[in-house]
Amino acid sequence: MEMILLSLNSDPEENWPVDRAEIRRLVKAWRDSGRDAKKTLKSLPDLKPYEFDEDGNLSCRVALLPVGSGLQATPPSAETPLKKTIRELLIYEARRDFIRLLLDPLREELSEDPCARCDLYFLKKTARQTVYCSRKCGRDGTAAFATKKRLRDQRNRKLIVATELSQKWTTAHTRDDWKQWISKHPRGVKEELTPKFLTRAVNKGDLLPPKKER
């Protein structure tokens, strides 16, 4: 399972011997099937070379290793055609690692999705651990969410004030354009409604530029 986690969490920029995007695609298909092996194989025709054919023959080799009183099967090693590109070989190894995952007795402990904070797959310590890989990521993720909410609420409040002041500008006796007038208004100063902020709000379609009443 350790090698599988390394494959799932490898840096795409590094020269890792497995295509991370491919193994994550396969794991997602497994998750989307409700972790039903039969449905997973049906949804992944890429894995056909690793399955038994209609006559019950396996087109690739399986190694059996003694484990205690029984045997353990290693992933099938489909014959690798020569002159493969590097990317094809990386994808081939990713599919073998995915089969290793389905053979691993710890497979049900793998998180359904990567950690919401660090984007790494992890082994769940409890059934309720589904979002974050660790307490640290949980704390950081909650803090980041709170910060985003605070900034979003702050921006919404600024837009409300900017809209109210832009309407007041239409009847105000001033030679300043509406952005300068709002940025100098006491409420505009308090909310830090700078001309730059107002320009961005208009460009994003969050604020309509007002027109002077005649």
Q: Are residues 198 and 105 in the same domain?
A: no
pLDDT at 181 over 90: yes
Token pair 């990317």 is found at: 87
Q: Does one domain contain both 127 and 150?
A: no
List the beta bridge partners of residue 96. none
**What is the reported pTM?**
0.60
pLDDT of residue 80: 63
Structural domain of residue 169, as residue ranges?
146-203
Residues 24 and 49 in one domain: yes
pLDDT of residue 203: 92
The reply to whether 61 and 166 lie within a common domain is no
Q: What percent of the chain has pLDDT over 70?
A: 89
Split at pLDDT 50, 70, 90, the class of 111 is very high
Q: What is the mean pLDDT of residues 16-22?
A: 88
Backbone phi and psi for residue 57, each to the nearest 5 degrees, phi listed first: -95, 145
Question: Does one domain contain both 20 and 126?
Answer: yes
pLDDT for position 78: 67
The residue ranking higher by pLDDT, 11 or 143, is 11
Do 79 and 153 share a domain, yes or no? Answer: no
74 burial level (CB within 10 Å; 0-12, 13-18, 19+): middle
Give residue 135's pLDDT: 87
> Are 9 and 107 part of one and the same domain?
yes
Residues 98 and 27 sit within 8 Å (Cβ to Cβ):
yes
Rounded Cα distance between 82 and 76, Å, is 18
Residue 132: pLDDT over 80: yes
Domain end, chosen from 82, 100, 133, is at: 133
Domain annotation covers residue 213: no
